[in-house]
Amino acid sequence: MRTLPCSLALAIALAADPAAALTLACGQVFDSQQGKLLGPHLIEISDGRITAVRAGRAEAGSEVVDHSDATCVPGLIDLHTHISNFESSPARYVEGFRLNAGDYALRAALNARKTLRAGFTTIRDLGETEGASIALRSAIEQGIAEGPRIYTSGKSIATTGGHADPTNGRARSLPNQPGPADGVINGPEQAYEAVRYRYKEGADLIKITATGGVLSYAKNGLNPQFSQAEMEAIVAAARDYGFSVAAHAHGKEGMRRAIVAGVTTIEHGSFMDADLFPLMKKHGTWYVPTLMAGWWTATKAEEPGYYPPMIAAKAKAISPQMTSTFANAYKAGVKIAFGTDTGVSPHGMNAREFALMVAAGMPPAEAIQSATLHAAEVLGAKGELGVIAAGAHADIVVIEGNPTTDVTLLERPLTTYKAGVAYGPL
């Protein structure tokens, strides 16, 4: 076996195009379809796709990138990030008054680099500012910027005063009556208009804030914020344009309306309970738990001055609920896919979500499946993403050891391949 030097493999990352031809020798491979580790395998890659996966070790004289002492896992998928519009900080509540589109774009580029090198080759971005995530997605696709594949909702859709109304807490003397173009609606007709604006701007999916939220400058974090008619209009309009719908929701009634309307995913789901579990299963709704957001906000709410008092109060009341809800939903058989709400917590820490899921009762192999096989299904990319198999994108994370016994190993990737291009760790 002739081993290509690691420096050569990583140098490929400077190229904009997918790797032309490459063979990886992996000591173990995580089979996301079966949820278990397999033995040594060779992964053949051409033009950014996996062309063959063969059991065994490299033959003498063959040229491979040697990961024979490591484990290869499908590229990880985070279904809930905020790559461009904020990162957790006590300054967050004043930054909106001084940052411009260029500021958000530059931050987004750095956050994307951190995310990719943390092992996440694909993300959904659910709520952004100034079109930065849409521009970043295009820049990454063109090889201008480094980062994961991005499926972005663009601006979230809210109601007046709702969780994603960008003017919450703003003085009356400042502009404070946003409309559908800004992602703020009142009534079914405006719901259609807002969805069409997202299409016009180049979004990939729709994000709605079905209930209040923890970090918005508004008192109630649980109340429903769309009527049933508004919710159904959003979903109907989204279907017209080939969009799925992700629904931020903490409170029970807002969740119920969103599930009945036909959203694809419930994000956070803090007060989901035994009444809603059967409804989730009936409608085939996915649950994206974002335990990282609950852990981070609950922790930071105890630090004086980190959040405004109104925000800290909501965090203390809502965030601790998320872990027990996840445990109960898992036991009830609700479909779960991986998401972190990164941006609420620092970018690049995404993989810490795995340990939180495992601590709440999900076996490590199933937690990994939630970020590979199941997340790909949510994206409508089954067979394309989340698997190490012929025909899939050559997205592979190389780690030490056995993640099915120690899921924290995913927090320390050795190399991340996206479309066969190798990137080093953070």
User: Percent of the chain at pLDDT above 70?
Assistant: 95
More confident residue, 219 or 187: 187
pLDDT band at 245 (very low <50, low <70, confident <90, very high): very high
In angstroms, rounded to a whole number, what is the distance separating the alpha carbons of residues 80 and 167?
23
Q: Which residue has the tokens 């799925």?
A: 244
Q: Mind listing the pLDDT tens digit for each residue in 94-135?
A: 777 788 888 889 999 999 999 999 999 999 999 998 899 999
What letter does residue 393 receive in the DSSP assignment? B
Q: Which amino acid is at 214?
A: V
> Residue 415: its pLDDT value, please?
98
Give the residue-averaged pLDDT of 300-314: 91
Position 36 scores a pLDDT of 97
Residue of 341, 84, 101, 308 whose CA lies nearest to 216: 308
Given pLDDT bands bounded at 50, 70 and 90, which one contains residue 327? very high
Domain 2-75+387-423: what homologous superfamily?
Urease, subunit C, domain 1 (2.30.40.10)
Fold of 76-378: TIM Barrel (3.20.20)
Q: Considering only 27-31, 305-309, 334-338, which range has the smallest mean pLDDT? A: 305-309
Give the angle subtended at the CA of 51 by the CAs of 48 and 54, to the nearest 5°.
130
What pLDDT shows up at residue 3? 63
What is the domain partition of the chain in residue ranges? 2-75+387-423, 76-378
Q: Which range (73-82, 90-99, 124-133, 217-226) has the least confidence?
A: 90-99
Q: Biggest alpha carbon distance in the chain?
A: 74
Least confident of 44-53, 67-76, 186-195, 309-318: 309-318
pLDDT of residue 13: 43
Short-list 298, 359, 351, CA closest to 324: 359
Give the Cα separation of 5 and 202 in Å (integer): 40
Q: What is the overall mean pLDDT for the chain?
A: 92
- 142-183: pLDDT as tens digits: 999 999 999 999 999 999 988 887 877 777 777 778 899 999
Give the H/E segment covering residue 79.
Answer: strand 76-81
